[in-house]
Amino acid sequence: MKNANNMLMWLGIVLLIPITMIIVIVSILMFAGYDVGSWMKAKASETPIVANLVPDEQNDELEAELEKADETIALQQDEISDLEKEVASLEDIVDDQKLDITKLENRNSSTDGLEDGVEIEEVDDIKQAAASFRKMDAKKAASIVQNLEENVAIHILVELSGDVRGAILAEMEPKQAAKLMERMLDL
């Protein structure tokens, strides 16, 4: 037993003295202003077994860059999504504009057809007549429109707003109103 205690005491002294010396030297170097931590990391990373235990600064930098790249990708995906929504909205606007152009072209062609068969003065007369129909009672206007020449009636109805035109057509005989509507749609 005495041998075992002796052996432990020598082992403790052999380990305790070098560890104490290392602590004292490191403390002195740190007090003197040396960066002992980075020196120790560099030396530890050169030691094969210890290198696996000490985290590598390069790995930390790569992980930080990877995290930044992931954040950038997420932001760009959000931006792409917003831009796709904006494109869809603009495409809807373009479709609406094309529809408006088609309506205006149809209206223009109906006016062109009118100008072919009717003098320009009569075009102004039709616009003035349409203005008077706007102010007139729908029932009275319907009875007048039914008695007009079909071509003139159509051009007057085209000049009216949708509400006024609808009210007049509602007061007309259904067959006559349907016939006029079909002709207006063909314009």
Q: What does the pLDDT average to over 40-61?
A: 62
Same domain, 43 and 69: no
Binning pLDDT at 50, 70 and 90, where does residue 57 land?
Answer: low
Residue 24, domain member (yes or no): yes
User: Token digits for 35?
Assistant: 């960066």
User: Token digits for 7?
Assistant: 């052996």
Residue 105, domain member (yes or no): no
Res. 43: pLDDT tops 70: no
Same domain, 22 and 60: no
What is residue 117's predicted lDDT score, i.e. its pLDDT?
47
Residue 76, domain member (yes or no): yes
Res. 155: pLDDT tops 60: yes
What is residue 49's predicted lDDT score, i.e. its pLDDT?
60
Same domain, 83 and 43: no
Residue 112, domain member (yes or no): no
Residue 150, domain member (yes or no): yes
Which of the two residues, 45 and 127, has the higher pLDDT score? 127
Residue 10, domain member (yes or no): yes
Q: What does the pLDDT average to over 33-54?
A: 66
Residue 144, domain member (yes or no): yes
Which of the two residues, 174 and 37, has the higher pLDDT score? 174
Res. 112: pLDDT tops 80: no
Same domain, 126 and 140: yes
Same domain, 63 and 41: no
15, 131, 149, 156 from 127: Cα distances, Å = 113, 6, 16, 7
Number of domains into which the chain is organized = 3
Cβ neighbours for 56, distance < 8 A, ≥ 6 positions apart: 45
Q: Which domain holds residue 131?
A: 118-186
Same domain, 122 and 182: yes
What is residue 150's predicted lDDT score, i.e. its pLDDT?
86
Average model confidence (pLDDT) for the chain?
Answer: 78
What is residue 72's predicted lDDT score, i.e. its pLDDT?
94
Same domain, 156 and 168: yes
Residue 113, domain member (yes or no): no
Same domain, 26 and 65: no
**3-7, 34-38, 153-157 — which one is most confidently predicted on average?**
153-157
